[in-house]
Amino acid sequence: MQSNKIDAGTFSKMFLSGARRLEAEKDIINELNVFPVPDGDTGTNMSLTIMSAVNEVESIADLNMATLSKAISSGSLRGARGNSGVILSQLFRGFTKIIKDKDELDMDVFTQALQKAVETAYKAVMKPKEGTILTVAKGVAQKALEINGTADDFDSFFKEIIFYGEEVLKKTPDMLPVLKEAGVVDSGGQGLIEILKGGYAAYSGEDVDEIFISSKPAVAPPVEKEKIITYETSLTIIKSGSFEDSDIDSLAEFADAYGIGTKISDQGDKISVCIYTDEPGRVISKCLSFGSIDDVIVKPRDKDEIGDKVATGGEEICIERKADVVSKPREDAPAPADMSQNENSEKEESPKEPAKEMGFVAVSCGKGLDEIFTSLGVDYLITGGQTMNPSTDDMINAINKVNAKTVFILPNNKNIILAANQAQYLVEDKEIIVIPTKTIPQGITALITFMNDGTASDNESAMNAAISSVKTGQVTYAVRDTSINGIDIQKGNIMGIGDHEILAVGNVVEDTAMDMLVKMVDDESEVISIYFGDEVDEEIANDFSQAVEKKYPDLSVELHFGGQPIYYYIISVE
């Protein structure tokens, strides 16, 4: 019979094992995402979130329940990325509130901690949806409450709550029709189950190192080499402080599964990556786990050219290693993605001039968009977006660089809003106001609305009102076959995605963009703004803009270079 008590050492092993299992299975979890877009997937976001806590747990000098709780809570809160990562961090935050002052955990304490975890996570989400990770967490907590006091020991307790959690997970498609249509369970809920299974494996004495490490890179079967036809993706990774030489091999293994003709050049403080793949979003998300990302270029390739590369052995991975180089930050490099610098250094570098009343932090994803945001008064830009969800710590680091009493944050992506909100509550020396911009055009409209002579409160109200009138459409490609809202989508199709649903599907970028636009424009529309991406030729973008002007002669049509990767066009209608 197993023990009915869990000490800090055992719980630490359980947490690390849960994190390891999530990391091993993250790509399978990514495959459960409903929308077939090249985004920063759920599994990746949850894994990056929990690994931030792992780094803090592994650095504990004096292990006890208090220091362990602080490391798990603080690490996950600051490292949280994406909605799923933020919710996971809030589950940990609630759980550790109950256990932090205990020497050992019994079933009663564990049950209380699960209840607090669910309560905290639900409070963190403005409009909780059932059929998500929240539902699975709630089911686990309810089952724990039901069997607390009747389970023979922790072994049977864990088995029952995990089994019930899996049963709840299987029912998530019945709660969210979009899951049912796509034929998947909730990805965040699956991630939570993997963490619980990993924790139980450590508790029951399994060799988790052998089980989980041997299963990396885990995950999805390698792509068929001859079918890689679509995109050349190149970028630069600015190494994080925790980067290890072995990470190069991990990156190479991943590239072998998802691309061909890969070139990886280790240049000391940074890594240059070039890969032919039809899943550039996944490549970008993977690279983000090694540091921050710069100089992202995604461009379509001629099918015959790709075929020639395959036929001549172009699928081999070329790795250039920089020998005997001490990794150090580039003078012009953006801060690393894990933002694990000495917090005191920010205070030492803080400007000496008096703080201005109001400043701005915005998330941007392209050189042209960066210039637009800067020209509109943004003090600090965070590189990120759909393919690169910044962490809460990224937000805090950006806020610290703005010398203002009140800092407005423009997340410009619905999957980054929760991380911004989390940063808002972790910063104590400034007033932080999150304007919940879900798209780049909403962020631009918010800045145009800003009044220098207005109060922070007045500006918050005005910007929130202004962004509600902005319709946004984004044109990208499908990374897999699926069916959504009765629309059959094939891998490689071009999709026009609106604020709430897919508005158009086709095979030609500009035709699909126009079909999408037709569904966005109404009698009250006045302005159409078009931002073309880095893989769209300027002449083609001009032709498209002229076609839009011809179709809507009574509307003002504006064309801007956005330079964003992945999305051919971002279009707004106001």
Given a cut of 60, is residue 450 above it in pLDDT?
A: yes
Position with higher pLDDT, 387 vs 214: 387
Given a cut of 80, is residue 534 above it in pLDDT?
A: yes
Q: Is residue 252 domain-shared with residue 394, that is, in the same domain?
A: no
Q: Is residue 153 domain-shared with residue 62, that is, in the same domain?
A: yes
Q: Is residue 492 domain-shared with residue 569, that is, in the same domain?
A: yes
Please count the other Cβ atoms lying within 10 Å of the Cβ belonging to residue 257: 18
CATH of the domain at 493: 3.30.1180.10
b/e per residue 469-500 (b: at least 16 CB within 10 A): ebbbbbbbbbbbebebeeeebeeebbbbbbee
Q: Is residue 565 domain-shared with residue 432, that is, in the same domain?
A: no
In a domain, 43, yes or no: yes
**pLDDT given for residue 86 in this prediction:** 94
Q: Is residue 159 domain-shared with residue 231, that is, in the same domain?
A: no
Most confident range (mean pLDDT) of 199-213, 439-453, 480-494 is 439-453
In a domain, 401, yes or no: yes
Kindly state the average pLDDT of the residues 232-251.
79
User: What is the spatial distance between Cα 477 and Cα 216, in angstroms, rounded to a whole number?
Assistant: 28
Given a cut of 60, is residue 569 above it in pLDDT?
A: yes
**pLDDT given for residue 301 in this prediction:** 59
**pLDDT given for residue 329 in this prediction:** 34
In sequence order, the 6+-apart residues with CB closer than 8 A to the CB of 82 are: 40, 42, 45, 46, 49, 389, 415, 416, 418, 419
Kindly state the average pLDDT of the residues 14-27.
92
Given a cut of 90, is residue 73 above it in pLDDT?
A: yes
Kindly state the average pLDDT of the residues 463-486.
90
In a domain, 220, yes or no: no
Given a cut of 60, is residue 345 above it in pLDDT?
A: no
Given a cut of 70, is residue 94 above it in pLDDT?
A: yes
CATH of the domain at 422: 3.40.50.510
How does pLDDT run across 395-447, given as a tens digit for each residue?
999 999 999 999 999 999 999 999 999 999 899 999 999 999 999 999 999 99
Given a cut of 80, is residue 350 above it in pLDDT?
A: no
**pLDDT given for residue 11 in this prediction:** 96
User: What is the spatial distance between Cα 481 and Cα 485, in angstroms, rounded to a whole number?
Assistant: 14
Of 107-121, 309-323, 330-344, 492-506, the one with minimum mean pLDDT is: 330-344
How does pLDDT run across 362-379, given as a tens digit for each residue?
999 888 999 999 999 999
Q: What backbone torsions phi and psi does residue 304 show, to the nearest 5 degrees? A: -65, -40
Q: Is residue 65 domain-shared with residue 187, that is, in the same domain?
A: yes
Given a cut of 90, is residue 282 above it in pLDDT?
A: no
Position with higher pLDDT, 303 vs 557: 557
CATH of the domain at 149: 1.25.40.340
**pLDDT given for residue 299 in this prediction:** 66
User: What is the spatial distance between Cα 491 and Cα 174, in angstroms, rounded to a whole number?
Assistant: 26
Domain range spanning residue 107?
Answer: 6-213
In a domain, 521, yes or no: yes
Kindly state the average pLDDT of the residues 472-496.
87
- pTM, two decimals, is 0.76
Q: How confident is the model at residue 335 (pLDDT cuts 50, 70, 90)?
A: very low
Q: Is residue 295 domain-shared with residue 372, that is, in the same domain?
A: no
In this structure, are residues 473 and 496 in contact, taking their beta carbons and an 8 Å threshold?
yes
Kindly state the average pLDDT of the residues 316-322.
64
Kindly state the average pLDDT of the residues 200-225.
55
Beta strands 318-320; 356-364: pairing state: unpaired
434, two tokens: 């999150």
Domain final residue pick, 467, 491, 521: 467
Position with higher pLDDT, 324 vs 128: 128
In a domain, 247, yes or no: yes
Q: Is residue 32 domain-shared with residue 101, that is, in the same domain?
A: yes
Given a cut of 80, is residue 85 above it in pLDDT?
A: yes
**pLDDT given for residue 328 in this prediction:** 34
Of 223-232, 243-252, 365-374, 553-562, the one with minimum mean pLDDT is: 223-232
**pLDDT given for residue 341 in this prediction:** 38
Q: What backbone torsions phi and psi does residue 148 show, to the nearest 5 degrees? A: -60, 125
CATH of the domain at 231: 3.30.70.1140
Of 177-181, 284-288, 399-403, the one with minimum mean pLDDT is: 284-288
Of 40-54, 341-355, 410-424, the one with minimum mean pLDDT is: 341-355
Kindly state the average pLDDT of the residues 41-61.
90
Q: Is residue 99 domain-shared with residue 241, that is, in the same domain?
A: no
In a domain, 560, yes or no: yes
In a domain, 333, yes or no: no
Q: How confident is the model at residue 330 (pLDDT cuts 50, 70, 90)?
A: very low
**pLDDT given for residue 316 in this prediction:** 56
Please count the other Cβ atoms lying within 10 Å of the Cβ belonging to residue 51: 20
Given a cut of 90, is residue 322 above it in pLDDT?
A: no
Q: What is the 3-state secondary structure (H, E, C) of 176-204?
A: CHHHHHHCCCCHHHHHHHHHHHHHHHHHC
Q: Is residue 266 domain-shared with residue 304, that is, in the same domain?
A: yes
Position with higher pLDDT, 197 vs 206: 197
In a domain, 328, yes or no: no
Look over the chain and give the mean of its residue pLDDT values, rounded to a whole number: 84
Q: Is residue 269 domain-shared with residue 411, that is, in the same domain?
A: no
In this structure, are residues 238 and 330 in contact, taking their beta carbons and an 8 Å threshold?
yes
Q: Specify the residue for token string 């409903």.
A: 34
Kindly state the average pLDDT of the residues 32-50.
79
Domain count of the fold of the chain: 4
Q: Is residue 132 domain-shared with residue 107, that is, in the same domain?
A: yes
